[in-house]
Amino acid sequence: MSLSNSLESMKDFNISDLDFNNAGSWPAPVKLICCISLIALVLGAVYWFDINDLNLDLERRQAEELDLRKQFEGKAAQVSNLEEYKAQMAEMKKTFGDLLKQLPSDTEVPGLLEDISSIGSLSGLELSSIDLRPEISKEFYVELPIDIKVSGGYHDLASFVSGVAGLSRIVTLHNFNIKSVKSGDVLSMDIQAKTYRYNGGGAK
């Protein structure tokens, strides 16, 4: 049967006339349409279950490539600045060493107390007491609190605080307590100074 005859026979075709138990008797155009539909269905299933998964895998690998590229660029930048980092590390070690030198050793603490007493005298203050408190061990250093009580004029107290803060050794000042005595002409100040030494053995 020619194609024109097949198409002519389709004019009076009704889908209810199809015998699904005998597909071989279907008109040629119907068979062709069914074959095309089946092929399209198979291709769609292949795309959905195979090609689509491949596309998703490709997108994942492209994202991984971008991440690896960024990591590579970051490491390349680090390598290009390696000498600068080494110079910074050397400078940090030197700075750390200089700071350690400012931490008094056990044998230097009496000298530090003498310096504080001398600053008090030069500032025109009366040094009532200077007492060492128990040491406090930290991770990398030992903290030594010193309780100080002095009395004098307002500007004398300010000069004393400035002089202690300007010592070559690291000394910090805490817990200021100032009150007036002798009709307000003289001030009494309780203050705690803290100095530090390197804890070579680490915290105990």
Query: Does residue 87 sit within a domain?
Result: no
The verdict on 189 and 109 lying in the same domain is: yes
pLDDT the model gives residue 25: 61
d(CA 70, CA 10): 64
Tens digits of per-residue pLDDT, 52-69? Answer: 677 778 888 888 888 888
19, two tokens? 């015998």
Query: Does residue 191 sit within a domain?
Result: yes
The type of residue at 52 is: N
Domain of residue 17, residue span: 1-80
Query: Does residue 204 sit within a domain?
Result: no
Tens digits of per-residue pLDDT, 137-164? Answer: 887 778 889 999 999 888 999 999 999 9
Q: Count of CB atoms within 10 A of residue 144's CB?
A: 21
Query: Does residue 8 sit within a domain?
Result: yes
Q: Angle at Cα 85 formed by Cα 80 and Cα 90, nearest 5°?
A: 150
| Domain total of the chain | 2
Query: 149-174 burial, b if ≥16 CB within 10 A, otherwise e?
Result: ebbbeeebbebbbebbeebebbbeee
Q: Is 136 left (phi over 0), alpha (psi -120 to 50) or beta?
A: beta
Tens digits of per-residue pLDDT, 77-119? Answer: 777 777 888 888 888 888 877 776 666 666 577 888 889 999 9
pLDDT the model gives residue 119: 92
Query: Does residue 183 sit within a domain?
Result: yes
The verdict on 108 and 194 lying in the same domain is: yes
